[in-house]
Structure 1
Amino acid sequence: MPGRIIIADDHPLFRSALAHAVGKVWPGANIIEASSAAEARAALAAGAAEALLLDLHMADSSGLSVLMDLRQDYPALPVVIVSASEEARVSAAAAQLGAAGFIPKSSSLDAMREALGAVRDGDGSFPDGEPQDDDDLARIASLTPAQRRILAAIRQGLLNKQIAYELTISEATVKAHITAILRKLGVNSRTQAVLLAAKLDVDQPATGSAMA
């Protein structure tokens, strides 16, 4: 029985290009298209998938945090990042955070098929080869989901009482989490934590991508 492949990207034309490549690599696959991280999660909740192709920039997600969250909840799921960003640091970070592959959106369809074929066969596929691990990313990845939510709120500039309200927890619990976050990240202040967490950000290029 054909497996399910989920394509999460908010550009319909690019989803179509990816679906074409997926059809060549996984003939007969049940391709599920999603235009947001929430839709991708709903598709995953509806049944097992053989792979998820994930854009890092959608209406409800931006950067590598979404990859960390999905890897936390679906550790066995191969996640292939498909991104308009071609910075070496982004593909290296994706690899360290557990992605199965990284496909620049400027790739040709042949290159996409080759990369997806490598993932299907259990091999990683990254444009810059085997990346070096980043100690800062390792510390960020060591945070619990609750700690990551609080760190995200800190990055938004929320005060402790606002974080407590948003997450429906006590201020004392927020303070305890922040103390643990600073310790795990090896920093002394919220500002330093915010600066370190910026490594999860991914700049979105202004130029379009090729699909030749």
Structure 2
Amino acid sequence: MVTLLLIDDHPLVQVALEAALARAPFPFLLLSAEDENRAREVLASQPVDVVVLDIGLPDSDGLQLLKFIRRHFPALPVIVYSAQEERLYQRLAAAAGAAGYVAKRQPMPQLLSAILAVLGGQQAFPPASGEEEPASALTSKELQVLGLLAKGLSNLQIAGQLNISNKTVSTHKKNIMDKTGASSVVELAGLWKSQR
């Protein structure tokens, strides 16, 4: 039996996922958590085979929770299941360690396919709809810089906090913009903040 942890604050998602799992080729045990605290409790108390995570949780930053899961449970695949459809969110999820990304507007069988794919060791991200995918995921340093930009820190403040030069901060900002396709740092920071 495969144990799946759904981290989502919408009860209807659980009902729909239960119906989809009933059609899966093998049995699932569905656990649920409506917030980060409950998710951490479940993860600490029993083994889980796959996580489906809504990054738009009301009480926390789902991307930070994703990073926590990757750090403490590195072999545990996580699929981000979100109402956000912009490519930027998919890239941020991938950079934070997600194994897949499914938009909530997709039919439930799409989520089930993604779950089966990541359980088989594959990734499950939407195709790149004609646009070229950025070269690679954000590095950990770029993610740090992005988080500090979102908090409104200047280049100089970021340089001081991370013990790097102002020029290095500028390089990281340019790389973040190139990799995510954001048209401005303000747009990038705004999108990042909207997940909090």
Superposed structure 1 runs of 4+ greater than 6 Å apart: none
Partners of 2:40 and 2:166 lie apart in 1 by: 28
Residue 46 to residue 109, structure 1, CA distance change in 2 (3 Å): same
In structure 1, the residue matched to 2:28 is 29
How far does residue 87 in structure 1 lie from its aligned partner after superposition?
0.6
Partners of 2:91 and 2:193 lie apart in 1 by: 12
Q: Secondary structure at the residue paired with 2:39?
A: helix
Provide the aligned C-alpha RMSD in A.
Answer: 3.8
How far does residue 141 in structure 1 lie from its aligned partner after superposition?
6.3
Residue 155 to residue 86, structure 1, CA distance change in 2 (3 Å): same
Residue 3 to residue 111, structure 1, CA distance change in 2 (3 Å): closer
In structure 2, the residue matched to 1:20 is 19
Q: Secondary structure at the residue paired with 1:118?
A: helix
In structure 2, the gaps of 5 or more residues are 171-184
Residue 117 to residue 155, structure 1, CA distance change in 2 (3 Å): same
Q: Deviations over 1:50-107 (max 9, x none)?
A: 0010000112223522222221221111000000011112112212321111110001
Residue 103 to residue 77, structure 1, CA distance change in 2 (3 Å): same
Partners of 1:34 and 1:141 lie apart in 2 by: 30
In structure 2, which of residues 133, 151, 158 is the aligned counterpart of residue 155 of structure 1? 151
In structure 1, the residue matched to 2:169 is 187
Q: TM-score, normalised by structure 1?
A: 0.66
In structure 1, the residue matched to 2:112 is 113
Partners of 1:50 and 1:70 lie apart in 2 by: 12
Q: Secondary structure at the residue paired with 2:90?
A: helix
Number of aligned residue pairs: 176
Q: Secondary structure at the residue paired with 2:38?
A: helix
In structure 1, the gaps of 5 or more residues are 158-174, 189-194, 205-212
Q: Please say if residues 4 and 48 of structure 1, whose CA atoms lie closer than 8 Å, have aligned partners that are also in contact.
A: yes
Q: Please say if residues 159 and 169 of structure 2, whose CA atoms lie closer than 8 Å, have aligned partners that are also in contact.
A: no
Q: TM-score, normalised by structure 2?
A: 0.71
The one-letter code sitting in structure 1 at the alignment partner of 2:151 is R
Partners of 2:146 and 2:189 lie apart in 1 by: 13
Partners of 1:185 and 1:36 lie apart in 2 by: 39
Higher relative contact order (CA 8 A, sep 6+): 1
Q: Please say if residues 81 and 103 of structure 1, whose CA atoms lie closer than 8 Å, have aligned partners that are also in contact.
A: yes
Q: Secondary structure at the residue paired with 1:116?
A: helix
In structure 1, the residue matched to 2:176 is none
Q: Please say if residues 139 and 184 of structure 1, whose CA atoms lie closer than 8 Å, have aligned partners that are also in contact.
A: no
Partners of 1:184 and 1:49 lie apart in 2 by: 43
In structure 1, the residue matched to 2:39 is 40
